[in-house]
Structure 1
Amino acid sequence: MKILIVEDDLRIAQNLAEFLGKKHYIIEIAYDGETGYDLAQMGNYDLIILDLTLPKMDGITICQKLRKNKCQSLILMLTARDTNLDQVTGLDAGADDYIIKPFDLQLLLARIRALSRRNSPHLTSIKTWEDLTLDTNKYEVKYQDKLVNLSPKEYQLLELFLINCDRTLTKEIIIDQLWSMEEIPQEETVKAHIKGIRKKLKLAGLQTNIIENIYGIGYRLNSYVSS
């Protein structure tokens, strides 16, 4: 999941980015409303965490403009004011949920998961392929109940293929989904991460090539035994 944090409080924004980054989310930050709106327009974000009170453009205005422009990203509003008016105003502007500052990070994570399930009700926390399982709640990958220690980017990449099990993904799509605009890698980096996944799964006992090369196009999950 790719998340944009729009928050002018440097400490809060960086704490959120660090916490969610450890949960394998791809994070970008904007520290004012105008920058946040521009990024939201340009970027392909699954979720926008949007502060209500921002310099240059407030969160309500951003939310209204994004929805007017048909932005489909989930929006989680942050507000320091525990009043029904603020909450109603945010939801009426197009926010999907809100959370009141100060908040517990685990509660925020639970809200993000709930929004993801609501947006994609067919998705479950457990993804499977043959005897391989990926648990998005525990951030664990196992093959035949043996834990496979993937790097954060390898985990994100494997999850992306399991979610898009019937789709061929180009390197450009993969990069857009898993890297922020500040850290765009070389295409060879994608190839290296896929090799890393294959090698670690083979060491765990999986002999079938889980990710297929589609010559001249990209990669896809081997559909032979996927579920």
Structure 2
Amino acid sequence: MTKILLIEDDQKAARLLKRGLQEEDFAVDAVHSAEDGEPAALTGNYDLIVLDWMLPAKDGITLCGELRARGLTTPILMLTARDGLGDRIAGLDTGADDYLTKPFAFDELLARIRALLRRSTLTQPPQLKVADLTLEPQSHVVKRAGQVLDLTPKEYAILELLMRQAGHVVSRQQLAERIWTADLIAIDNLMDAHMRNLRRKLDPVGMPRLIHTVRGQGFRLAEAADDDA
């Protein structure tokens, strides 16, 4: 199912948009600030982000620029009441893929979303790669040094999340919310068990470690790290 992240500070509008998109068979997560939107966007493996320009504290255009600076390639549809040519140019130059002015018809929003998703599918890289580790999102084939790894669905989900954020720390909280989603109570032991099994398969004896523990923060996938636990 296609996953959409909605970042909209107007909670009533967010509820209406979320409900409408869910009725069109999209899976939708809604947050109401840039502070919550940034970690969700970076770790949630979303297919598309719908981002409101006028957010509290940090506006949407600033968040958009920061997400692009972090290497996020997820399509972003900017929503705004600003309709000046300069505003549209600023939004697109910052990294938004499309721009929709409020008020808008829901059918037009759907058309813009579907167009962006089609474009994204055509340009999506067929493979994620870190050092000699490769992951193919479409086939779910994972290889280390050319050897296919036999991963469970949870191990694959953890690895894909880490690879999409390669070089950046993914916290335990982010892993719990994105991989387990439901019951976050007493999840640490289960997470550690999956991580041990994944590391055993990913990093056999004699090969450089790729998954690193960052004390007090979480995990990072990288070729090397000097802050391992």
Q: Indicate the TM-score class for this superposition, using the shorter chain for normalisation.
A: 0.5 to 0.7
Is 2:157–2:179's contact at 8 Å kept on the other side of the alignment?
Answer: no
Distance 1:75 1:32 in 2: 16
Distance 2:6 2:12 in 1: 12
The 3 A distance-change label for structure 1 pair 82 and 51 is: same
User: What residue in structure 2 maps to residue 9 of structure 1?
Assistant: 10
User: What residue in structure 1 maps to residue 153 of structure 2?
Assistant: 171
Displacement of 1:33 after TM fit? 1.6
Distance 1:115 1:3 in 2: 12
User: What residue in structure 2 maps to residue 101 of structure 1?
Assistant: 102
Alignment of 1:44-55 (within 5 A): 44-55=45-56
Distance 2:16 2:95 in 1: 26
The answer to whether residue 53 in structure 2 is matched with residue 56 in structure 1 is no
Distance 2:123 2:97 in 1: 19
Match of 1:78, SS state, is: strand
Letter in 2 for 1:104: A
The answer to whether residue 166 in structure 2 is matched with residue 184 in structure 1 is no
Distance 1:182 1:65 in 2: 24
User: What residue in structure 1 maps to residue 114 of structure 2?
Assistant: 113
Unaligned runs of 5+ in 1: 124-162, 187-227
Letter in 2 for 1:18: R
More relative contact order, 1 or 2 (CA 8 Å, 6+ apart): 1
User: What residue in structure 2 maps to residue 85 of structure 1?
Assistant: 86
Distance 1:170 1:22 in 2: 31
The 3 A distance-change label for structure 1 pair 56 and 182 is: farther
The 3 A distance-change label for structure 1 pair 30 and 182 is: farther
Q: Deviations over 1:123-151 (max 9, x none)?
A: 9xxxxxxxxxxxxxxxxxxxxxxxxxxxx
Unaligned runs of 5+ in 2: 125-136, 142-150, 162-176, 184-229
Match of 2:4, SS state, is: strand
How many correspondences in the alignment? 145
Displacement of 1:110 after TM fit? 0.7
Letter in 2 for 1:63: C
Alignment of 1:150-161 (within 5 A): none
Match of 1:67, SS state, is: helix
Q: How high is the TM-score relative to the length of structure 2?
A: 0.56
Q: Equivalent pairs: percent with the same residue?
A: 43
Q: How high is the TM-score relative to the length of structure 1?
A: 0.57
Letter in 2 for 1:46: D
The 3 A distance-change label for structure 1 pair 56 and 167 is: same
Displacement of 1:117 after TM fit? 1.0
The 3 A distance-change label for structure 1 pair 122 and 4 is: closer
Distance 1:122 1:6 in 2: 24
The 3 A distance-change label for structure 1 pair 71 and 122 is: closer
The 3 A distance-change label for structure 1 pair 86 and 8 is: same
Letter in 2 for 1:6: I
Coordinate RMSD, CA, aligned: 2.8
Distance 1:182 1:32 in 2: 22
Distance 1:122 1:31 in 2: 29
User: What residue in structure 2 maps to residue 208 of structure 1?
Assistant: none
